[in-house]
Amino acid sequence: GAYVATDLWDTPWVDAADKTFARDVLKYSWRTGHAAVTGQVKNVASPHPQFADGQYLFHTQLNPTFYAVESPDALEPATRDTHTIFRYSENNLSAGIAHAGDYKTCVLGFPFETICDAESRQTLMQEILTFLFP
pLDDT tens string 24-81: 999 999 999 999 999 999 999 999 999 987 899 999 998 888 889 999 999 999 999 9
pLDDT for 84 equals 98
Residue 1 binned pLDDT confidence (cut-offs 50, 70, 90): low
pLDDT score of 2 more than 80:
no
pTM: 0.94
Q: Which of 54, 77, 40, 71 is nearest to 128 (CA)?
A: 54
